[in-house]
Structure 1
């Protein structure tokens, strides 16, 4: 048998299989990890079954390149032609490395981009200052002669940028608004997973157990919102997970991958379950619409365009101090003209969509405006300064209340179409206004009572006699009334 194996090595593989008619033929892969430095060929013995006699031949070719090709010949008795030949390779690979999400890479590159623009602009300024006057004149003439070429190049670049932006337009879920989206949903899902792991590490010592009643209430609200809005693909395709953080912060947020984070301070700030449904619907609206991806896309475009302006500032300003001032002004203009107005727009849209989600979950949508009225009073009681809306990333409480009041009738119609139970006749907004008015009247009455008591005490203090000391006469002074007896005594002396 060994001699046969040695001779078969020299033959072609196909001729080997055809020549071995006395062996049944089939192909299988040997799962052995034998790496020899010389090629070898081995054949197995004949095997028998209780019904018929079959033969098998196994050929395993091993070379120095660690390529294992293992062939086992098998063939039924009635058929003497080989069927399958499938060589396989064994590769030893390491574990997969997780690449950073594209949005995270762009965020990390922002400081480097600004630094590059500053260095480039400053280098251009230094080069121009060091240039002799005759070369400056030659450069101006060269630029003027090629002005149309430069205009054409700028126009082509602008056209290319416009095409890139137009090809990345997308339709917003639920609202159908056209928006710019440079990053895909998959990229932001990966970023959400990384962010969620970071938040879990940060809040690991303050997370409330799932058996806590507060956690169960939030989990039930999220489940109802997800079940009643199954027609929205972005909600039905995401597994929603609740995390309740024990902290006084009045905040809640939802990541695009369905991780819901809410602080106990928010649970204490809401007045009832309907306000909680509205707040969680608002945060889930941010996630399902993809506001984070949309805001990052616009921020990326504005950042790239501002780099050109930043380079020009550092190239034109005669001193570094002026360039630093221009850089600061440019960053504030971008912040107040683009970033914050767009953030307020997304917040208003989340209020609109969140109200619809709450309506389909059979919540009392009239409680939405009441929550922001409560937050306004709460800020006033804490003495927080009222800043103008154009300085904030969120709409003012008053504007939010007015917008929600306009959307409530439509939300009530949507709620009625979802076979929800009837709402009580008492409008929570009216009840809240009456309660606030009653509190203000009581506060005014208490203030008036306190002022009257203070005035009475002051009047009583004026009517009380003050203790008087006997008059003291000095030389040259005239005696006063009440001092007649003293005067006569002095004269008699």
Structure 2
């Protein structure tokens, strides 16, 4: 986290230094530089091609098959490192919510724990489920939120428990959040961000080197950040959310939940937003699919999920 802004600052300073160096360069020296680059253009092209081949080979060595779905994705971080990070993150959250955690004997905690236990028992055929020591924490907070860390730590907020109508909807929500952990979405998203950040450093250097002034360079950097967000980060995040919806529905179906509760839950969430007057952004500006699209996707998956539920 600390390195990213430092790397960006270094790229800005490098680009700005190149621009200043070029400005003070005499006209004859500039022409000599242009001629030299033109003369050696094929060497630059060959070097660039070789670099692209090396990068492609490095990326190929980090391709991984996603659990459950079999989708091929890029993982540049080792699972061991990410599990260590998950332990630190869970400790941080436990300290953060220490005063708000419901006791294990509380009915809401027991309800969530029973639902998680059922989901785990019925999905033990998945190694990423059976090999993880699942643990439940219920946070007393009006926030409508829940998340599951890669080390199996489940955090459920009482605001979410008020938003679900029954245990079937609760299992749909838990299935979705557990799917994120099972599919290692956080590691996958961090891998994409790492690659995008490295490419961004090259673009930042080029922007600050080529723009005639600092204001235009700042404007170009802002535009680059927004385009990266809208063209890469947000669409990829929505893709992972949709995948977690799909896999989470399968987990809930195998645990005998009424999967028809899934689309209904997102219809409820859409209605709640309308009744409270909560402003909603267009989907392309969000990291999550719209409530309506999530409901529609789950609706299309219901027949397949009901077949899966017959064997529970």
TM over 0.5, yes or no? yes
Aligned residues: 312
Match of 2:41 in 1: 147
Match of 2:91 in 1: 197
- Choose the corresponding residue for 1:266, options 160, 167, 170: 160
Partner secondary structure for residue 2 of structure 2: helix
Give 1 or 2: higher helix fraction. 2
How far residue 184 of structure 1 moved from its aligned partner, in angstroms, is 1.3
Match of 1:316 in 2: 210
Match of 2:191 in 1: 297
Partner secondary structure for residue 127 of structure 1: helix
Instruction: Specify which structure has the bigger relative contact order, considering alpha-carbon pairs within 8 angstroms and separated by 6 or more residues.
Output: 2
Tell me the distance in 2 between the aligned counterparts of 1:369 and 1:184.
Answer: 35
Tell me the distance in 2 between the aligned counterparts of 1:197 and 1:417.
Answer: 38
- Choose the corresponding residue for 2:237, options 343, 353, 361: 343
Instruction: Deviation per CA, 1:136-183: give whole Å up to 9, x if none.
Output: 011111111111111111111111110011111000000010100111
Correspondence list, 1:114-129, <5 A: 114-129=8-23
Tell me the distance in 2 between the aligned counterparts of 1:154 and 1:329.
Answer: 26
Tell me the distance in 2 between the aligned counterparts of 1:190 and 1:317.
Answer: 42
Match of 1:382 in 2: 276
How far residue 185 of structure 1 moved from its aligned partner, in angstroms, is 1.1
Partner secondary structure for residue 292 of structure 1: helix
How far residue 306 of structure 1 moved from its aligned partner, in angstroms, is 1.4
Tell me the distance in 1 between the aligned counterparts of 2:24 and 2:129.
Answer: 61
Instruction: Deviation per CA, 1:49-82: give whole Å up to 9, x if none.
Output: xxxxxxxxxxxxxxxxxxxxxxxxxxxxxxxxxx
Partner secondary structure for residue 73 of structure 2: strand
TM-score (norm 2): 0.99
Instruction: Deviation per CA, 1:232-270: give whole Å up to 9, x if none.
Output: 000100000100000000000000000000100000110
The yes-or-no answer on 1:409 pairing with 2:306 is no
Tell me the distance in 2 between the aligned counterparts of 1:294 and 1:157.
Answer: 24
Partner secondary structure for residue 138 of structure 2: strand
Match of 1:178 in 2: 72
The alignment yields a C-alpha RMSD, in angstroms, of 0.7
Correspondence list, 1:150-229, <5 A: 150-229=44-123
Q: Which runs of 5+ in 1 are unaligned?
A: 1-106, 419-493
Partner secondary structure for residue 170 of structure 1: strand
Correspondence list, 1:35-114, <5 A: 107-114=1-8
Partner secondary structure for residue 261 of structure 1: strand
- Choose the corresponding residue for 1:327, options 221, 243, 249: 221
Where in structure 1 do 4 or more consecutive aligned residues deviate above 3 Å? none
Tell me the distance in 1 between the aligned counterparts of 2:283 and 2:224.
Answer: 20
Tell me the distance in 2 between the aligned counterparts of 1:222 and 1:247.
Answer: 20
How far residue 417 of structure 1 moved from its aligned partner, in angstroms, is 2.1
How far residue 397 of structure 1 moved from its aligned partner, in angstroms, is 0.8
TM-score (norm 1): 0.63
Match of 1:306 in 2: 200
How far residue 361 of structure 1 moved from its aligned partner, in angstroms, is 0.3
Instruction: Deviation per CA, 1:390-415: give whole Å up to 9, x if none.
Output: 00000001111110000010000001
Match of 1:9 in 2: none
